[in-house]
Structure formats: C-alpha cells, structure tokens
Amino acid sequence: MIAIDICKTLYGSMGEMELNVDLQINEGEFIALAGESGSGKTTLLRIIAGLEKARGTLKVGDEIWMDAKHALPPQKRKIGFVFQDYALFPNMTVLQNLLFVQKDHALAAQLLEMTGLDELRDRLPATLSGGQKQRVSLCRAMMNRPGILLMDEPLSALDPAMRTKLQQEILTLHKNFGTTTIMVSHDPSEIYRLAGRVVMLDHGRIIQDDTPKKVLLKTSGSQKFSFEGELLDIVQVDIIMVAIVSIGQQLVEVVISPEEAASLHIGERVTLSTKAFAPILSNR
C-alpha cells in the first residue's frame, strides 16, 4: 500500500495554487493521472520520486519515504521514472544507459529482448527513433526493479501506431515485474487500455477517482455517445437549422430546431451527444 498525504504550494502561470493530495494506492495497481496542464500531475510524480519537497507524509509499505522529520533521498526509493523527453545519456550506448542504473547484465538482456531492442544495444541514443528512445528509457526505469514506476506522459511525443505498440510493452512490463505504476496521460484510449483506475486532478485537488470507464465515458442523461466541440456556425437549410461543429480534427453537421439554434452561440463549447443505439459503427 502506498499512502500519499501531501501538500505543497505551487506558483504557476495561474498564480498560487495549493497541491493537496490524499491518495491510497494498492500494490500492483496501474493508475492514470489525468487533468489539465497545471493541475499538479507532474509535481505529484516528482514528490513521490523525491525530486521535490512537500509537506505531509508518504508511506510505501512499511517504509516512510517522507514525513515532517526526514525525506528518503530519491536514489534510495525503489522507483523508476520515465520522462516524456526520454532523458537518456547521449554519450552512452543503449546497453550502457541501462547498466548505469544497475550492473545487472542478465536483467538488461531480458529487458532489451522483451522490448525488441536487442540488436540496438550498442547504438547511441542520437541514432534511434523516438519510439526506440522511449523503449530504452522504459527499460532503464525497470533496471532497479522498481516497486513504483512513474511515467510522465511517456508516449505523447510518439505517433499513434508506435504509441499502441509501446502501451502493450508498458503493460507487459507492469505485469511481469509486478510494479505499481502511475502514469500521467491525456489520451483516453491509452488510459482505458492501460489503467485500472483514473485519478483526475484539478487545481491541485483530486476531483475524480474511479475506473476509466466511469471517469471517461461522457454521458448526459441517457445519451451515451458524447463529444465536446466548438460550435462554428448555424445555417438554415429548408425549414431546418444545421449546426456545424468542430470535434477533434473534423467538422460534423447536426440538424437542430430553430428553438435550439436560438439558445446556442457561435464559438461556444458544445457537447454533441446521441443515444448508444443511434450511431453506426463501421471499419475502414
């Protein structure tokens, strides 16, 4: 059991903010940490890692990592940290990057094999693709057999296909090593695939803590299919009104009544929803 009860005053672009988190995590859980940027996600990870100070207590199993009197230094905490920008040592080969953490050749070989990096062991990071670099940094994080794996948007710089592949590898490592994993992520499909629990932060506070489905499934009333977008325009066609809404990377048209049109404002954020029965799903 990891018991986090911490408090820290942050000074961000929005002024002062109190990060106040009271969270219990069971061993072996995979937690997604979500929330808007500036909500305190990265700071929370860094506090758990011991890279930042905070008030309060942090207990991992029987060990006290932080309390009012002392704080365990980062190198004594059994953690692995994966950053968005890889943070590899540029002058070391893939293998040397791993061995720097722990001179455990057998484990390094096992990790490189699991992630398909075997043939790249003697390459320098600069000669690797983004996906390969992040694999190396993931392997390096596992080198001290961490009890807790912390990942700060590890896949956000990668293309969707590479992301899906690495998600699978992250899940495999998480299960094989029995780590407790906390990952900052904004991607709903990633959260759904990997995490068993989502903790949503807002302005330094936990506003939701539940299963991915409960947190991410957008519903309003009995509407089960809902997207947020921006209302771009409303045009009249025959006797109906057509609203043009931008959602993600595309525009959609929705037929609305004149009464609805009157209550909507161009440029505002809108939720587009329909019942689960109506949409038609087809593959490409």
Partner 1 sequence: MSILSATVASIQSNDGLNIVTFAVGEESLSMVSLELDEVIRVGSECLLNVNASSVAIGKNCSGMLSYSNQLSARVTAIESGELLARIVLDISGKHLESLITVASCKRLGLKAGDEVKALVKATEISVSRVLA
Binding of partner 1 at residue 161 (CB under 8 A)? no
Binding characters for partner 1, 179-218, by CB under 8 A (x = yes): ----------------------------------------
Binding of partner 1 at residue 11 (CB under 8 A)? no
d(CA 132, CA 130) in angstroms, rounded, equals 5
Provide the greatest CA pair distance for the chain.
74
Q: Would you give the DSSP letter of residue 71? A: B
d(CA 64, CA 72) in angstroms, rounded, equals 8
251's tokens:
């525009």
Nearer to partner 1, 50 or 229 (CB): 229
Distance (Å) of CA 188 to CA 101, 169, 184, 198, 277: 32, 18, 11, 10, 22
Out of 222, 237, 249, 259, point to the residue binding partner 1 (CB under 8 A): 237
Out of 238, 259, 269, 284, point to the residue binding partner 1 (CB under 8 A): 238
Out of 87, 240, 262, 266, point to the residue binding partner 1 (CB under 8 A): 240
Window of 4-12, 74-82, 137-145, 274-282 that interacts with partner 1 by CB under 8 A: 274-282
Q: How big is the CA angle at 93 (ends 91 and 98), to the nearest 5 degrees? A: 110
**In the bound complex, what is the minimum distance in angstroms from residue 224's beta carbon to partner 1?**
12
HSE of 111, CA atoms in CB hemisphere, 13 A: 28
Window of 97-105, 128-136, 191-199, 230-238 that interacts with partner 1 by CB under 8 A: 230-238
The enclosing H or E element of 181 equals strand 180-184
**In the bound complex, what is the minimum distance in angstroms from residue 67's beta carbon to partner 1?**
55
Nearer to partner 1, 247 or 255 (CB): 255
Binding of partner 1 at residue 277 (CB under 8 A)? yes
